[in-house]
Amino acid sequence: MGLGTGAVEDLVRGAGRLPDPAFWRGRRVLLTGHTGFKGGWTALWLARMGAEVTGLALAPDTEPSLFALAGIAGDVHSQCADLRERQAVADIVAAARPQIVLHLAAQPLVRRSLADPVGTYATNVMGTAHLLDALAERRDLDAVLVVTSDKVYANAETGDAFAETDPLGGKDPYSASKAATEMVVASFRASCFEPRGVPLATARGGNVIGGGDFAEDRIVPDVVRAAQAGEAVILRHPEAVRPWQHVLDCVGGYLVYAEALATKANADRALNFGPETGPAISVGELVAQVQGALGAASGWRHEPVAGSVEARRLKLDSSRARHLLGWRDRLPGHAAVEATARWYARWMSGADMRDVSIADITAYERA
């Protein structure tokens, strides 16, 4: 598959429901994690639709970052705060007076969670509790959506796709913290939110790829860094299978879900957002496709980690979201990988990445 140089219009298939600009225009939105990868794309899309966005997050922890490259600071009222600081969170919530809350902020890295399990639990579990506590008495809320992970499920490595009713669990601190977050949300929902008629739900996203991710120990950024350095990619689990999904497909699902919750449409209180069932793409196969699209030297080196608890097989059943919301992937399978590689190729060529990112959103919407 050859690398294109423009937006992703030739890759997107016209299918599935899109976020409604009329819903978001002028609506007050509190978006946590806006300085991160998925949060940055969410902020760009919301601003494009005319939402009034307050962002709550730490400063970007990568250099470069999508937040800086795409000029996201100009799209949101950006508040730098730590979710572990209860009063700071409460003050930002009070000032923002949100109608919709999209909670994407987290410590999202499995290997970092192994190095700092307590910090991971503090951010992901107690940080969510601090946010929900600050929102519990708000009278102008329409809906709250908390993003967790595909890794919330107790994974026996059978290769079966997880449905929303499957047991929760986690072998590593990141996965367990997200499963615990699901319990925190359920308790707040039953005791504080639903009695007041405020929908509170969780979205369980798959392994998201896309331009602007520069995090450590993530496969696509690792491939890009290796390509820049002319080095081989080091893989811990080249045979591992993940529910790879383009960031615009995942974020689009979150936004459509929030709309349904706010308008009291028929929607469950926990939904999976992963790619449609198709040929499984292993880590090694994904690396080869990204390298080919970037014109980088192919190949990787396997360096296994003794005693690793990272899952080898992971799949999501997202049929409920498709049925209830009319949402589905518009960049499926290899198209997601190609669209991701195009963004990084443009960045490596010195393009204006705000223009590139907005063009990708525009092309995604128009297809």
- Give per-residue pLDDT as tens, 331-349: 988 899 899 999 999 999 9
Residue 308: the pLDDT is 63
Residue 32: the pLDDT is 98
Domains in the chain and their CATH numbers?
21-366 (3.40.50.720)
Tokens, residue 231: 């080095």
Phi and psi angles of residue 231, each rounded to the nearest 5 degrees, phi first: -115, 165
DSSP for 61-118 reads: -SSS-HHHHTTGGGTSEEEE--TT-HHHHHHHHHHH--SEEEE--S---HHHHHH-HH
Average pLDDT across the chain, whole number: 92
Tokens, residue 42: 């969410």
CB contact set of 133 (below 8 Å; sequence gap of 6+): 86, 90, 188
Tokens, residue 222: 């690792």
* pLDDT-wise least confident of 1-10, 43-52, 196-205: 1-10
Sign of the C-alpha dihedral computed for residues 4, 8, 9 and 15 taken in this order: positive
Residue 156 has pLDDT above 70, yes or no: yes
Q: Select from 179, 178, 197, 200 the least CA-distant residue to 188.
A: 200
Phi and psi angles of residue 81, each rounded to the nearest 5 degrees, phi first: -155, 160
% pLDDT > 90, the chain? 74
Residue 282: the pLDDT is 87
The kind and range of the H/E element at 171 are none
Residue 130: the pLDDT is 98
Q: Phi-psi bin for 333: left (phi > 0), alpha (psi -120 to 50), beta?
A: left
Residue 310: the pLDDT is 59
Residue 258 has pLDDT above 50, yes or no: yes
Residue 1: the pLDDT is 34
Residue 4 has pLDDT above 80, yes or no: no
Using only C-alpha atoms, the chain has a radius of gyration, in whole angstroms, of 19
Residue 312: the pLDDT is 61
Read off the pTM.
0.94
% pLDDT > 70, the chain? 95
What amino acid occupies position 170?
Answer: G
By the 10 Å C-beta count (0-12 exposed, 13-18 middle, 19+ buried), 190 is classed as: exposed
Distance between CA 106 and CA 175 in Å, rounded? Answer: 12
Question: CA-based angle 186:95:182, to the nearest 5?
Answer: 15
Task: Tokens 């929607």: give the residue.
Answer: 267
Residue 2: the pLDDT is 39
pLDDT per position as a tens digit, 279-295: 678 899 899 889 988 88
